[in-house]
């Protein structure tokens, strides 16, 4: 059974490296019973760091996102790694960019959402246990983390802080048009995948080949028509030439 794509690096022509976040952002993957430990996640900040180190600073990164979000700790670290890198970064939302995945998108120089995609912004939440004092401290800690998290969105958007606070408290889903209006993305793309471009080029080549075959067929038909025509009759020699030929024939026969 093929392994589902979670986080993939692919180098394209022109020194462009495509990165895909197609799963929840987590520090660890599934538990491996062979090693009795958790496998490293392909959406962790550490894995992201390892892959970024292999890409030259002069190359371009295309980040494709289709993720429900995940670990704030890992996502913020990925965001800051992208911000610190010298690469040109173009981010695409291919499906959904929810929660921390939408935060990661903000690190890209150019942020693009495809038609039919969506984003989600909301307050952080945690699973907590403990006594009253510990739970109150956890709530205070979340307030601090949320203030820091909001600064990422406010850095490039035109949202007022109170407006952003209200939207995140309401767990707001956003369309590409709304994200563009709020300055959370730079454009709405109607881009096509490489596979579609390749298919279109193949179709063009097929049409060209059909045209060439049609021309060859037309030429072949003309050639067959020319060959099938009866040969032209051999012209008869003039009467004086025939008379002279007969006289010469008789002369040589009487010699």
24-78 pLDDT per residue, tens: 999 887 877 888 778 777 888 998 899 899 999 999 999 999 999 999 999 999 9
Number of neighbouring beta carbons within 10 Å of residue 235: 6
Task: Name the nearest CA neighbour of 28 among 8, 52, 47.
Answer: 47
104-133 pLDDT per residue, tens: 999 999 999 999 999 999 998 877 888 999
Number of neighbouring beta carbons within 10 Å of residue 61: 21
User: Domain map of the chain by residue range?
Assistant: 7-197
Options 3.90.226.10, 3.40.50.300, 1.10.510.10, 3.40.50.360; CATH of 7-197 = 3.90.226.10
Residue 163 reports pLDDT greater than 90: yes
Task: Name the nearest CA neighbour of 21 among 42, 50, 52, 46.
Answer: 42
Secondary structure of 209-249 in the HEC alphabet? HHHHHHHHHHHHHHHHHHHHCCCCCCCCCCHHHHHHHHHHH
For the entire predicted model, the pTM comes to 0.68
How many helices (H) and strands (E) would you count in the chain?
8, 10
Q: What is the Cα–Cα distance from 158 to 202, expressed in whole angstroms?
A: 44
């Amino acid at each position: 059974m093929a392994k589902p794509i979670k986080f993939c690096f692919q180098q394209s022509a022109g020194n462009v490296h495509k990165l895909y976040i197609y799963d929840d952002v987590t520090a660890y993957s599934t538990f491996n019973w062979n090693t009795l430990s958790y496998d490293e996640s392909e959406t962790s900040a550490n894995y992201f760091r390892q892959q970024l180190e292999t890409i030259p600073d002069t190359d371009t990164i295309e980040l494709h996102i289709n993720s429900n979000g995940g670990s704030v700790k890992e996502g913020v670290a990925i965001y800051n790694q992208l911000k610190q890198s010298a690469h040109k970064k173009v981010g695409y939302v291919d499906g959904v960019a929810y929660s921390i995945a939408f935060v990661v998108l903000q690190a890209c120089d150019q942020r693009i959402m495809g038609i039919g995609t969506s984003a989600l912004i909301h307050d952080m939440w945690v699973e907590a246990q403990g006594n009253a004092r510990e739970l109150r401290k956890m709530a205070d800690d979340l307030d601090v983390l949320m203030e820091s998290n909001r600064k990422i969105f406010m850095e490039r958007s035109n949202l007022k802080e109170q407006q952003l606070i209200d939207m995140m408290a309401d767990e707001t889903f956003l369309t590409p048009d709304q994200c563009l209006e709020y300055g959370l993305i730079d454009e709405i793309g109607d881009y096509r995948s490489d596979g579609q471009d390749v298919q279109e080029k193949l179709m063009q080549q097929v049409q060209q080949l059909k045209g060439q075959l049609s021309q060859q067929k037309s030429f072949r038909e003309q050639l067959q028509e020319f060959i099938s025509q009866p040969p032209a009759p051999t012209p008869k020699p003039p009467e004086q030439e025939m008379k002279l030929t007969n006289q010469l024939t008789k002369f040589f026969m009487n010699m």
